[in-house]
Chain A
Amino acid sequence: MNLVPVTYKGGIYRHDEIMDLIEDLGGYIIQKHVLAQEVVLQALVPREDIGLIARIGKPLTGEITPSPLVGTEIAVVTMSLEIHHLPHASCDVAEYVRRMGAKTNMVGLARGFGKRIAQLNDEERDVINEHDLAVYLLGDFETCIEHKFPVLRRGIHIPIIVLGGPSTETLMRIIDPPVDGYVGNVGRFMHRTKESEELEMLDQVVTEITRVLDKKRDAIAKDPPSVSPARLMDIISSQVDDIHEVLSPTPITVQMTGLRVKLPYDRFAPLLKEIIIEEGITIGEVAEILPSRMRDYILIRIKPFSETNIMV
């Protein structure tokens, strides 16, 4: 079954029918937002059933749109979050990407600013590496980007997209070795993005993120994870009651090959390890359960099929 990420927007009236439908079809609801009279569902659904959901949702004023970023966790890395430099361009980027379905986390570096003094500490590095993709928002001067970027990428092994003030071509020229994606003309500009050309620029960022993530998806498809992260999320939320006490918007965050479970590691890691997925296969057999550097959360990294020889 081929699951595709979609966003469903519709009225709150009878929306539970749509949720039941998605679950009955074998899909997974990643996140549900209720905004006054409207419901936004971010879900993974079988490709062939999109038409059916659209048909059933139509009388409920529901719309279904593909959103390729659902089920990914993206780090928006910004050089500083200083109060007197607000508003930061990174806020707009993070919010816009979030609207497209991704779970974004802002990583404001403690000492990311400046040309000579910029640095990345081990905690920041590890937190960034826990994501599917990192979007770096740099400044306006190419001299500074060229000089400081090697320091900021040290130890990062996930795909990187660089955003900066100079043009895309300039960014490509000055960054060596190359990174996975570039979007120019998004530097420090000290005002909110409202005009159409600025929103177009944010669309470009989303396009670039989608392109890089599609490439990563293709690579993952060659050696798929032993269990789908969305399915694992479903299992954990049905078997661990404490997860429903967590007040975060996404108590379990779905990534491309893993999950972030927002429960204390010490108490819950042994418990998660023993949960049976199917036919006696436990989570511990198909995934590594690691402490996250983000608070005391749990990070689950699902092992690929080639490593476990199990597919559930």
Chain B
Amino acid sequence: MDAIEYFEVESPEDAGREYYRRIADVVLLDHNLLRVIKKLHISIDPRIPLFIAVGVTKKIPRVIKVGDIADVNVQERKVTLSIGDETYLAPLLKILWAEYGGDKVVQPDRFTVILNIEGADGRQIEEIPVIDPSEALYKDLIYALLVIQPEGFKVRRQYYGKEKFYLVASENTLPENFEDLVKEKFALMGETL
């Protein structure tokens, strides 16, 4: 497993900082997220109180399309999909049902799906997006940060996308300039938001 390139926890209290370093380590390991994070900076100030976590992820797999998980074979009156990877079969069937109707989609066995449609364009079917793994991954990431943050910080703002993410949380109203604070933390890691 690749180590995280940059991992810092900052806090005015030494004991608290060490605890939160270990908590973050344990939680990310438990949620299997260490391999997707490239950089992570956590800052906790119990005096305000304010929790800021900012980070950068590694390259995340792109959107998975029908062509990636199945061979599309267009015949005269039907289209046969031979499933190579059945991990995403359930969302794929859901999409096909919505697109062509439940009665047109037949699944004679585990690895075959037949669409009873005429004059279909094979290329077009191959391009149908099935799932975006990054969506689930970022959600997991934000959830893990919620677990790491001090208990009771109910006011929060989060952001993810373009390989960057942040979570700001507090028990009070967030400071107006929290975006500047987030940018500062990104700058500490040598990144810009």
Q: Which residues of A contact B (CB under 8 A)?
A: 79-80, 82, 84-85, 113-118, 139-144, 165-167, 170, 187-191
* Size of the chain B interface, CB-CB below 8 angstroms: 24
Residue B15 at the chain A interface, CB threshold 8 Å: yes
Query: A117-B171, A189-B22 known; A167 and B15 CB under 8 Å?
Result: yes
> Which B residues lie within 8 Å of A117 (CB)?
152, 171
Kindly supply a per-residue 1/0 record for chain B positions 1-20, scoring 1 wherever the CB is within 8 Å of any chain A CB and 0 otherwise. Answer: 00000000001010110011
Query: A114-B152, A115-B49, A190-B26 known; A84 and B146 CB under 8 Å?
Result: yes
Looking at the complex, which one of A79, A82, A118, A165 makes contact with B15 (CB distance below 8 Å)? A165
B147 close to A84 (CB less than 8 A)? yes
Q: Taking CB as reference atom, which chain B residue is nearest A80?
A: B151
B46 close to A170 (CB less than 8 A)? no
Q: Taking CB as reference atom, which chain A residue is nearest B17?
A: A140
* 3 residue pairs, one from A and one from B, having the closest CB atoms: A113-B152, A114-B152, A141-B46
Q: Which applies to chain A's interface (DSSP): helix, strand, loop or mixed? A: loop
Contacting A at CB under 8 A, from B101-158, are 143, 146-147, 150-154
Contacting A at CB under 8 A, from B1-58, are 11, 13, 15-16, 19-20, 22-23, 26-27, 44, 46-47, 49
> Which A residues lie within 8 Å of B154 (CB)?
114
> Which A residues lie within 8 Å of B11 (CB)?
141
Q: Taking CB as reference atom, which chain B residue is nearest A147?
A: B46
Q: Taking CB as reference atom, which chain A residue is nearest B144?
A: A84
With A and B bound together, what is the CA distance between A6 and B35 in angstroms? 51
A189 close to B19 (CB less than 8 A)? yes
Q: Taking CB as reference atom, which chain B residue is nearest A81?
A: B151
Query: A140-B20, A144-B49 known; A188 and B13 CB under 8 Å?
Result: no
**Cβ of A149 to closest chain B Cβ, rounded Å:** 14
**Cβ of B12 to closest chain A Cβ, rounded Å:** 8
B26 close to A85 (CB less than 8 A)? no
With A and B bound together, what is the CA distance between A26 and B46 in angstroms? 55
Residue B172 at the chain A interface, CB threshold 8 Å: yes
A188 close to B19 (CB less than 8 A)? yes
> Which B residues lie within 8 Å of A79 (CB)?
151-152
Query: A115-B171, A116-B172, A190-B23 known; A141 and B152 CB under 8 Å?
Result: no
With A and B bound together, what is the CA distance between A139 and B19 in angstroms? 10
